[in-house]
């Protein structure tokens, strides 16, 4: 089919599967908002639509031009052996795709595993926060372990994992780690720059959403994250 390879189908399939899962999950928080006529799902579904458009567009581009997408400045990198290095590193192997898929599953595992564990062991609802905390710790450790050898998969999964943790852990406790995680995955290793850039990004976001726009960012619903989120909101407002 044109100039497509199996890797192109796998990549597009992963993105489309992720978009489908996110769209289905969006029905769980679909509700009207008094100050926003399009409702709570408008922006998440807009982002999902952009993911679908990007995945299909990239597939069509590869169908027409194959791997010529690496031409010009980007394609010049193949002259110094970087293309062969990428192949040798295993980024086109089945094992790499399986690792990436597993990383993408981790956020959805957090959404379901605590409730499944509660039902399996017959615990009451009062133990759900503890089950979520234990599950979060285990999955974060697994994510870090797998990301050490698959930075691309880690980069794809990190925003979804961040979104999955928002409801329980809150924006104020998780956002700093998300920002630092992105910088680490992009290759930044200088502590002073990570602290400076992270503080700048968080400062701008908190000022814009909390102090200026008065947007209610998630504070979390599990202690002590809930207490910390409320303390930050009171401090800024």
For residues 56 and 64, give the distance between their C-alpha atoms in angstroms, rounded to a whole number: 12
Residue 79 belongs to a domain: no
Quote the number of domains for the chain. Answer: 3
Residue 78 belongs to a domain: no
Same domain, 3 and 50: yes
Residue 74 belongs to a domain: no
pLDDT at 43: 67
Same domain, 160 and 178: no
CB atoms within 10 A of CB 5: 13
pLDDT, one tens digit for every residue, the chain (237 residues): 556 778 778 888 888 988 888 888 888 777 775 545 666 677 678 778 888 888 888 888 878 776 554 444 344 444 444 445 455 555 657 888 889 899 999 999 998 898 888 888 777 777 888 889 999 999 999 999 999 889 888 988 998 899 889 889 988 999 999 999 989 988 888 899 999 999 999 988 888 777 776 767 788 889 889 999 888 888 876
Please tell me the pTM assigned to this model: 0.65
Q: Which residue has the tokens 């086109």?
A: 92
Candidates 220, 216, 158; CA nearest to 183 is 158
pLDDT at 42: 72
For residues 222 and 128, give the distance between their C-alpha atoms in angstroms, rounded to a whole number: 10
For residues 215 and 114, give the distance between their C-alpha atoms in angstroms, rounded to a whole number: 29
Q: What is the DSSP letter of 213?
A: S
CA dihedral for 78, 80, 84, 85, sign (positive or negative): negative
Residue 77 belongs to a domain: no
Candidates 112, 113, 88, 105; CA nearest to 161 is 105
Residue 110: which domain range? 90-165
pLDDT at 66: 66
Same domain, 210 and 157: no
Same domain, 39 and 18: yes
Distances (CA, A) of 148 to 9, 142, 175, 193: 25, 10, 21, 21
Of 146, 165, 184, which residue constitutes the final position of a domain?
165
Same domain, 139 and 153: yes
Same domain, 157 and 192: no
Same domain, 2 and 61: yes
Of 121, 146, 165, which residue constitutes the final position of a domain?
165
Residue 43 belongs to a domain: yes
Of 108, 130, 165, which residue constitutes the final position of a domain?
165
Tokens of 212: 């200026």
Residue 83 belongs to a domain: no
Residue 76 belongs to a domain: no
Tokens of 141: 């450790």
Residue 105 belongs to a domain: yes
Asked if 58 and 5 touch (Cβ cutoff 8 Å), the reply is: no
Same domain, 161 and 174: no
């Amino acid at each position: 089919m044109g100039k497509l390879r199996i890797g192109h189908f796998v990549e597009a399939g992963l993105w489309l599967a992720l978009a489908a899962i996110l769209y289905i999950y969006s029905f769980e928080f679909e509700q009207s908002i008094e100050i926003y006529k399009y409702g709570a799902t408008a922006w998440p579904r807009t982002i999902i639509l952009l993911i679908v458009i990007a995945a299909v567009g990239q597939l069509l581009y590869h169908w027409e031009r194959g791997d010529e997408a690496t031409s010009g400045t980007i394609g010049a990198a193949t002259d110094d052996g970087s293309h062969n290095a990428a192949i040798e590193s295993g980024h086109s192997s089945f094992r790499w795709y399986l690792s990436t898929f597993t990383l993408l599953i981790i956020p959805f595992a957090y959404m379901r595993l605590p409730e499944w564990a509660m039902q399996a062991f017959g615990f009451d609802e009062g133990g759900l926060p503890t089950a979520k905390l234990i599950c979060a710790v285990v999955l974060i450790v697994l994510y870090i372990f797998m990301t050490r050898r698959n930075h691309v998969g880690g980069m794809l999964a990190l925003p979804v994992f961040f979104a999955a943790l928002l409801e329980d852990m809150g924006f104020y406790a998780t956002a700093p780690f998300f920002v630092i995680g992105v910088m680490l995955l992009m290759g930044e290793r200088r502590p002073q720059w990570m602290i400076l850039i992270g503080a700048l990004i968080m400062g701008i976001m908190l000022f814009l959403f909390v102090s200026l726009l008065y947007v209610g960012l998630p504070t979390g619903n599990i202690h002590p994250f809930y207490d910390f989120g409320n303390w930050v909101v009171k401090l800024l407002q």
